[in-house]
Amino acid sequence: MIREKKTAPWAANIVAHRSYNRLNEELVLLKKYQPPVVITALGSPIPVIETVHSYAGLVFADVNSVKYAKKAADAGVDGLVLVSSGAGGHTGAITGFAFVEAVREFWDGIIVLAGGMSTGNSILAAQALGADLVYMGTKFIAAEESMANQLYKEMVVQATNEDLICTDAFTGVHANMLKQSIEKAGYDPSQLTSKKEIDFQNPQGKSKAWKDVWSAGQGVNSIKEVQPAAEIISRLKTEYEQSLLNMEMAKTWLKTEVKN
């Protein structure tokens, strides 16, 4: 008997910013390959929603503020990805605690929490807050399977939170960048100037964000070695289960205290 392999749905990530000139071509590809989930980044999800809903796919919008979460909800997305402070890549400025609470006031759809989460404990904490799913980006940069440059992986393994600089100098949007990569690319981290606006057609400066200047989120501390993704995931599972047990023990303790 051949058992059908159970796999998670795959997702496509679409840059939805108005200055991104491949959006129309990518909409054609979405229609052709029909990814079950499409995640929009950096712009309004509206152009993507019609295409993806036409084949019954789901649209999740990356949002980095409560204002954008409201806009995306009104536009008709199926899920909101709350990119909170401490995230790798483009980051929000609001903590996950405040972000989920604020969005739950007007949204009962799917919430994915993103930003600084890198252990099983943080997954349980996100659930306690009211999130349905979490994103982990930084956690997998140094995975063996990751296509990141070897030097980038080594930098992530060595880095601590002290090595992160949150700047909009490279892309026009605040992003957490590794100080050592900024220096390696020939910039003085103390002399960075704000890029002011996002423009995918005219990237500014000699170094390209992500390719030459590398990002990591505040979860970087937990990354101690380059490991296969399966080991990272297995560790997350163990931590999550241990965290659940700890909560059970806390619950039992609380019950006893209340009785006494």
Ligand X SMILES: Cc1cc2nc3c(=O)[nH]c(=O)nc-3n(C[C@H](O)[C@H](O)[C@H](O)COP(=O)(O)O)c2cc1C
State whether residue 209 is helix, strand or coil: strand
Q: Taking the complex as a whole, how short is the minimal distance between the CB of residue 200 and ligand X, in angstroms?
A: 12
Q: Taking the complex as a whole, how short is the minimal distance between the CB of residue 251 and ligand X, in angstroms?
A: 29
Looking up tokens 């997998």, which residue turns up?
A: 140
Single residue of 136, 142, 185, 232 touching ligand X by CB under 6 A: 136
Q: Taking the complex as a whole, how short is the minimal distance between the CB of residue 136 and ligand X, in angstroms?
A: 4
Nearer to ligand X, 99 or 135 (CB): 135
* AA letter at 72: A
Which residues, numbered 38-57, are part of the site for ligand X (CB under 6 A)?
Answer: 39, 41
Contacts 24+ apart (CB under 8 A), 107-112: 107/69, 107/73, 107/80, 109/73, 109/77, 109/78, 109/79, 109/80, 110/60, 110/78, 110/79, 110/80, 111/79, 111/80, 111/82, 112/60, 112/79, 112/80, 112/81, 112/82
Nearer to ligand X, 3 or 115 (CB): 115
Which residues, numbered 67-106, are part of the site for ligand X (CB under 6 A)?
Answer: 83, 86-89
Structure tokens at 143: 């995975």
* Site membership for ligand X, residue 217 (CB under 6 A): yes
Q: Taking the complex as a whole, how short is the minimal distance between the CB of residue 252 and ligand X, in angstroms?
A: 32
Question: Which residues of this protein are in contact with ligand X, per CB under 6 A?
Answer: 13, 39, 41, 62, 83, 86-89, 114-117, 135-139, 210, 215, 217, 219
